[in-house]
A = this chain, B = another copy of it.
Amino acid sequence: MYATVMHGPGDVRNERVEDPTILKPTDAIIKLSATCICGSDLWPYRGLQPQDGPTHMGHEYCGVVVEVGSEVRTIKPGQFVVGSFCLSDNTCPHCRYGFQSSCVSREFMTGAQAPYARVPLADGTLVASDEMPDADMIPHMLATSDVLGTGWYGAVAANVREGGTVVVVGDGAVGLMGVMAANQLGAGRIIAMSRHETRSNLAREFGATEIVEERGEDGIGRIMDLTDGVGADSVIEAVGMEQSMQQAMGVCRPGGSIGYVGVPHGVNFDGQQLFFRQQRMLGGPAPVRRFLPDLIDRVLQGKIQPGKVFDLTLPIAEVAEGYKAMDERRAIKTMLKVEE
């Protein structure tokens, strides 16, 4: 098959690779219905995260099971499935505690920007839908796999409550999904920090009640004004840079919560500063598996349309352009059509 391989910073190719096969008895092979490019794929693309040689890219996926290993019990060929970028057995103590992204058997998905992919730990990782979704549901189902699941975790980690005030730092795809999650979880006020019209419009569509364009100290000042000097109950940090983390901390009230879902790059905390700020902090790779059944339900019931976050759709053969468009911020998130 032809799939996506990153050879180095800025060098992503659609090239011939081996078809995936069952390597372990707990694996499944799925035929992708669609796949996409993640904001986190841009870290190595931009040379900000070292790689060991050419890498098969892609960890967001949904599709139809074509084959399962001999120990797979619940997942069956023919089923439509969605899985998380974190592969988990869903039975270990961490999984049962709702933190499947710290599963004792955890692996990270890879190779999903392709027509077919191998999914390890299939029983634990994959969630099957009762019926085969219509074609127009595919983008929304695909979004639950990571980008929505991660934004959702950000909102849960930030302790979003009915009627609460939420700030979302970062208007990338995850931040926008954080807005949607906060809205679904009943937030009373959702302030999105965004200075790009396309993104702030989408944020409003997803439930943002206010947009703050300013950044840094100005952005903090604006939000403190909007909250009568109190700050937000919940802050979703969806970037992972020093400046964005400082913004998140600057607008969170004492006793409030920060859910940080942007993988921190070059972020350090001073213990005493953190102490006196008195903010509850929880981050980490999202345990999407915990939320997947609920998210799939919400999608199939038409309550949410997270696939709207894909503002560029390309055939997988043009994956290089998909990365470039996201890198240059011409696209929020690129969906890749997979055809045989």
Docked pose: A269 CA to B271 CA in angstroms: 7
Chain A binding surface, main DSSP class: mixed
B280 close to A282 (CB less than 8 A): yes
On chain B, the residues within 8 Å of A245 by CB distance are 271
Across-interface contacts of A24 in B (CB, < 8 A): none
Is A97 touching B281 in the complex (CB atoms < 8 A)?
no
Q: A128 CB to closest chain B CB, in angstroms?
A: 25
Q: Does A301 contact B (CB under 8 A)?
A: no
Name A's B-contacting residues (CB within 8 A): 93-94, 97-99, 101-102, 104, 157, 228-230, 240, 245, 253-255, 260, 263-272, 274-285, 287
User: B278 near A280 (CB under 8 angstroms)?
Assistant: no
A269 to B270, alpha carbons, bound, how many Å? 7
Question: Closest Cβ of chain B: how far from A111's Cβ, in Å?
Answer: 22
Contact A264 B271 (CB under 8 A): yes
A267 interface neighbour in B97, B260, B272, Cβ under 8 Å: B272
A271 and B268 contact, Cβ closer than 8 Å, known pairs A101-B278, A254-B97, A283-B278:
yes
Query: A95 to chain B: closest CB distance in Å?
Result: 10
Using A280-B282, A282-B279 as known contacts, say yes or no to A264 and B253 having CB atoms under 8 A apart.
no
Q: Which of B254, B284, B287 contacts A275 (CB 8 A)?
A: B284
A282 touches B281 (CB 8 A): yes
Give the docked Cα–Cα distance between A279 and B94 (Å).
12
Chain B residues with CB under 8 A of A269: 268-269, 271, 274
Among B102, B254, B270, B276, point to the contact of A268 (Cβ < 8 A): B270
Among residues of B, the one whose C-beta sits closest to the C-beta of A255 is B99
Docked-complex contact A284 and B99, CB < 8 angstroms: no
Contacts known (A97-B254, A99-B254); A277 close to B267, Cβ less than 8 A: no
Contact residue among B99, B229, B254, B265 (Cβ-Cβ distance under 8 Å from A278): B99
- Please tell me if the beta carbons of B284 and A278 are within 8 angstroms of each other in the complex: yes
Give the complex CA separation of A277 and B281 in angstroms: 12
Residues of B contacting A260 with CB < 8 Å?
A: 275
* Nearest-neighbor residue (CB-CB) of A262 within chain B: B275
Give me the 9 closest cross-chain CB pairs, A-B, nearest first.
A267-B271, A264-B271, A278-B284, A102-B254, A99-B255, A269-B269, A275-B283, A280-B282, A99-B254
Given contacts A97-B253, A263-B272, A264-B272, whether A280 and B277 have CB atoms under 8 Å apart is no
State the Cβ distance, A16 to closest chain B Cβ, in Å: 35
